[in-house]
Structure 1
Amino acid sequence: MARPNDPNPRLITQAADLAELCERLRQEPFVTVDTEFMRERTYWPELCVVQLAGREDVAVVDAQAEGMDLAPLGDLLADPAVVKVFHAARQDVEIFLLKFGAVPTPLFDTQVAAMVAGFGDQASYDSLVRALAGASIDKAHRFSDWSARPLSAAQIAYAAADVTHLRRVYTSLRERLLAEGRLDWVAQEMDALLEPSTYITEPEQAWERLKPKSSNRRFLGTLRAAAAWREAEAQRINIPRGRLVKDETLLEVAATAPETADQLARARGISEGFARGKSGASLLEALAEAKKLPEEALPMPLEARKGAGASPALVALLKVLLAAAAEANHVAPKLLADTEDLERLASETDPDIRALSGWRREVFGADALALKHGQLALGAAGRRVRLIRTE
């Protein structure tokens, strides 16, 4: 819900109006940004609406309006003098990377900042708006068809609210983090979001998201080839990967390694037409190439990459230390380390994990290493965990 002093949102449907708006916003210290897009029917997100707000302007840009030229928006997003503020930026940034070939910079993600400020793991936008802007979000149009035209007045108001309230969320978080000396922590977190590779799925790595439990490297090699084919083919024809071939079907194809269209058609979820068509033929070619790979070229099982198994007891101790560090520093535990980080820390001599670098090392990583090497013990002090130095 908007406050009385919030400007009414303006719908932008003309390229000239967008250019004029972006030129004004380039005089601002920061601009809040959000998008509405559709992805149910396509691999690549279909940008429908862009919301922008400065101190005075609040605008909803119809990205699909006839003759709309988004180039001025690209210039604004690339302007180093204007901070671009998002909440949960990854999907929005992916869209702009695809559209303009660059990640918006400088960038500030209020969800990440909220984790640093002690609002818990992946704080929702709704909860931050309530806590920091004293407002509430109308969720009625969260699942609107944003590709339908014309946009309704209710859709425009809903879209504008995201960037209107985000201004107060950003300024409140920034003031809080500045007072606590933690703006540098957030800046370190933004480095990953500024890296284009964060948003690009390489076909050769696509098999890993299926998290296969098998240790059969020949099967994993076939699965890698099938998953890489699916990713590239879904990108080529621009449909969701799961609509092209479902995960469970892909796993079955990798397990049976069909060599002919008849064999491929026997897999559950593969139609006769698909098996005998262009996509089926290219999948069979990918599988045939995988069969030629020598043993040393096959992928290692995901579990094997972690090295020797971690001691469950040591991992449990590290989890206690993690909770204590998060509590003492008022940050979300997930921001310091996840379960995989703790398992690698427990089992590897010199793991390359985020918990051992930057501000995380100061807050948690150094103590975690000390605990692992017997230089630190854990005890209780009333209702809190106490760290006991043994050396």
Structure 2
Amino acid sequence: MTIITDSVSLATLCDKLTKEPFICIDTEFIREKTYWPKLCLVQISGPKGEPFAIDPLHEGIDLSPLFSLMINSKIVKVLHAARQDIEIFLHLIGQLPNPIFDTQVAAMVCGFGESASYEHLARKIADARIDKSSRFSDWSGRPLEKRQLKYALSDVIHLPRIYLTLKKRLAETGRESWIAKEMAALGKQETYITEPKTAWKKIKTRGASSRTLAVLRELAAVREEWAILYDLPRQHVIRDQSLLAISVSQPTTMEELVRVRGLKGTLTKGKLVSSMLKAIERGKNLKLEKYPETPRKPDNHPASPAVVDLLKVLLKVRCDENSIAAPLVAKNSDLIEIAAGLEKNSVLTGWRRKVFGEDALKLIRGQLSLRVNNGEVHIHTSCEKKN
């Protein structure tokens, strides 16, 4: 097991990997007490699967050759469930790694189901068993144990074979475009960065009024800025539940503010209290036209629950037949809209229409039926049009 702890060895490895068409990357990090994930280990391999571990915590190591490798547009970066890994590099480099290939996304249209784990793909494609007993180790501790390194390196040993297998299947089935949107999202900074003014959208508002949302938007922005500034998890600054309670009660003094359940001991002094009170005032003083829109509720459409349930069965059958994960084809909100007769829907365009959308329309028009025979669901299409 090779672990790199010095700048010269890292530069030599990265220089070697710049000649490869793709590299495989994984990381180990901790995030329980910080806003940004703290990078503790980087695992990397080339097309042959020879693994290396890079210790970013070792004193004096210069990671710039690794960062240059990550943004080299001539080399495909292969990761599994890539979002958190990419977020780490975006924070450290200030740029997104590119181009990216996420094997979990690709697996969704290659017959491996929704959110296929790396262990599942390693077993199915490489006939390998991964020992996950070290998964929740303290990766910031040094020295790392052999069992930790063995586990960490296993995450890139089989990744080249998984990548090449999935890439071949995508080419053979012509399904590269089916996951283009999901892959493209990995290359957008907004996927990883929460702007303070939009942070309120991550909070479950449970039917809050527009006036409450106006205050919540201001408060959530303050919390986001505070969390970033002091590198603290949002919930360590103020919990969502408390933030929503403040938005409803809209206190005007520190004494009133600290009476909110869950705040005692966390908001008793300092600039945060002042910032919170000013945020409440800003939200209260907004003009009506400046209020945020209440979140759209797609299930408000007049759709029969029974029809939605039938569409779910049809979706499951068609996705199983086509070896594709159902959530990639249609969300529950899509099914509700289709059941309600709304036809401006992404499910009714492109490849999704061919896989499921056309049959979904036939079902609600009475031109298609579902039958059970010998314990299996069968689809029957009628040539007769129903009015």
TM-score, normalisation: structure 2: 0.91
1:152 aligns with 2:145: yes
Q: 1:204 to 1:22 in 2, by over 3 A?
A: same
Q: Does 1:182 align with 2:171?
A: no
Conserved 8 A contact 1:230-1:244: yes
1:42 aligns with 2:25: no
Are residues 357 and 93 of structure 1, via their aligned partners in 2, closer, same or farther at CA, if it must alter by over 3 Å? farther
Task: Find the counterpart in structure 1 of residue 330 from structure 2.
Answer: 337
Hey, what does 2:5 align to over in structure 1?
A: 13
1:379 Cα deviation from its structure 2 partner: 3.1
- The 5 A counterparts of 1:1-391 are 9-54=1-46, 55=48, 57-271=50-264, 274-304=267-297, 308-347=301-340, 349=342, 351=344, 353=346, 355-372=347-364, 374=365, 376-380=367-371, 382=373, 383-386=376-379, 388=381, 390=384
Aligned counterparts of 2:186 and 2:35: Cα–Cα separation in 1: 21
Contact 2:223 2:238 in 1 (8 A): yes
Instruction: Give the Cα separation in 1 of the matches to 2:182 and 2:380.
Output: 27
Structure 1 residues 273 and 359: alpha-carbon distance in aligned structure 2, compared to 1, 3 A threshold:
closer
Q: Is the 8 A contact 1:214 1:220 kept in 2?
A: no
Q: Match of 1:66, as an amino acid?
A: E
Deviations 1:205-243 (A, max 9, x none): 222222222242212222222222212211111100011
- 1:224 partner amino acid: R
Per-residue deviation, 1:376: 4.0
Instruction: List per-residue Cα deviations over 1:71-91 (Å, max 9, x = no partner).
Output: 222222222322211111110
Offset, 1:316: 2.3
Q: What CA distance in whole angstroms lies between the structure 2 residues aligned with 1:390 and 1:197?
A: 48
By how many angstroms is 1:280 displaced?
1.2
8 Å Cα contact 1:211/1:302 also seen in 2: no
**CA pair 157-214 structure 1, distance change in 2 beyond 3 A:** same
Compute the displacement of 1:347 (Å). Answer: 4.3
Kept in 1: contact 2:301–2:337 (CA 8 A): no
CA distance in 2, matches of 1:215, 1:68: 50
Tell me how far 1:171 sits from its aligned partner: 2.2
Cα deviation, 1:35-66, whole Å, max 9, x if unaligned, reads: 11110110011111111001263110111222
Structure 2 residue matching 1:120: 3-state secondary structure:
coil
Q: Percent identity?
A: 44
Q: After superposition, give the CA deviation of every residue in 1:113-147 in whole Å (9 maximum; x if it has no partner).
A: 11111111111111111111111112221111111
Q: Any idea what SS the aligned residue of 2:85 has?
A: helix
Is this contact kept in 1: 2:298–2:333, CA < 8 A?
no
What one-letter code is carried by the residue in structure 2 that aligns with 1:34?
D
Is the Cα–Cα contact under 8 Å of residues 33 and 51 in structure 1 kept in the other structure?
yes
RMSD (CA atoms): 2.3
Cα deviation for residue 268 of structure 1 reads 1.4
Q: How far is 1:273 from its partner?
A: 6.3
Shift in Å at residue 178 of structure 1? 2.9
- Cα distance change, pair 195–68 in 1 and its aligned pair in 2 (3 A): same
Question: SS at the partner of 1:384?
Answer: strand
TM-score (norm 1): 0.90
> Does structure 1 retain, via aligned residues, the 8 Å contact 2:49–2:157?
no
Q: Name stretches of at least 5 consecutive residues in structure 1 with no aligned partner.
A: 1-8
Q: Matched residues in 1 for 2:16 and 2:154: separation?
A: 20
